[in-house]
Amino acid sequence: MIASFYDELAPFYHLLYGDWEAALAHQGRALAGLLARHGVGPGAQVLDAACGIGTQTLGLLTYGYRVTASDISPGAAGRLREELVHRRLQAEVRVDDLRTLALAGDASVDALIACDNSVPHLLTEDELLQAFRSAHRCLKPGGLVVLSVRDYAATPRQNPDVRPYGLRYENGQRFLATQVWEWDGDHHYDLRIYLTRESADGHCDTRVLSGRYHAVTIDQLMTLLHVAGFTQMERHDDVLFQPVLLARKR
């Protein structure tokens, strides 16, 4: 379900940002700074294990990192390949599952990132632990895992929770995107994104994309990272627009 969700969203994902180009620059600068402060400098090999259309991959490439990008969504991976060609950047892009990282070699990367609240698409603690153990396997000794996630412990539970992105303009068309969360207890919720496109002649069409999230807390994630073999867990609230978790492989 998540692969098809992001397949459909891939052509429009940049419109969820007020200014995607500015987001690329900011996130690249912020992540490059975080990695460098923790001993992973430009030239290091980074696996963006939930790359989407490339918000973090494209940013890090401009700071001299060697990035391999993977995502469970073929549509998102395809969009990233197009962006790389357009920007004259190079990175290997592949379709892979965050839980298994089957295409990533053992001890092959200096850092692994999974940003934009991608990890909470894993709906059970078993799936999360499987993903963290796969990340641990792929990292070199002393390597870093970097996650950005929502702070669900601080998120009110209300049904429905309507979260508009705002109105965007592109190629003479207007786009209006809105999230609707519908909670299923305290720990999971269904997400719908309503994407409405209005052409210059006033014709409108709306598509609805559906997904599901696990409202796992940051404390729970840190516990699972420890179980998977990571140490030195840290939380940073001043790097990206969501809290960032960092942990190191022994």
Burial of 250 (0-12, 13-18, 19+ CB in 10 A): exposed
For every one of its 250 residues, what pLDDT tens digit does the chain have, with 9 covering 90 and above?
Answer: 899 999 999 999 999 998 999 999 999 999 999 999 999 999 999 999 999 999 999 999 999 999 999 999 999 999 999 999 999 999 999 999 999 999 999 999 999 999 999 999 999 999 999 999 999 999 999 999 999 999 999 999 999 999 999 999 998 899 999 999 999 999 999 999 999 999 988 899 999 999 999 999 999 999 999 999 999 999 999 999 999 999 999 8
Nearest to 135 by CA among 214, 48, 6: 48
Chain centre distance of CA 220: 19
pLDDT at 200: 87
What are the residue ranges spanned by the domains of the chain?
Answer: 2-151+216-249, 156-214
Neighbours of 186 (CB within 10 A): 9
> The whole model's pTM is what?
0.95
Q: Could you tell me the CA-to-CA distances from 137 to 1, 49, 57, 111, 191 in Å, in that order?
A: 26, 13, 21, 12, 31
Instruction: Return the CATH class of domain 2-151+216-249.
Output: alpha beta
| DSSP H or E segment with residue 192 | strand 188-198
pLDDT at 185: 94
pLDDT at 126: 98
pLDDT at 11: 95
Instruction: Return the CATH class of domain 156-214.
Output: mainly beta
- How many Cα atoms within 13 Å fall on the side-chain side of residue 2? 18
pLDDT at 202: 87
- Residue 188, classed as helix, strand or coil, is strand
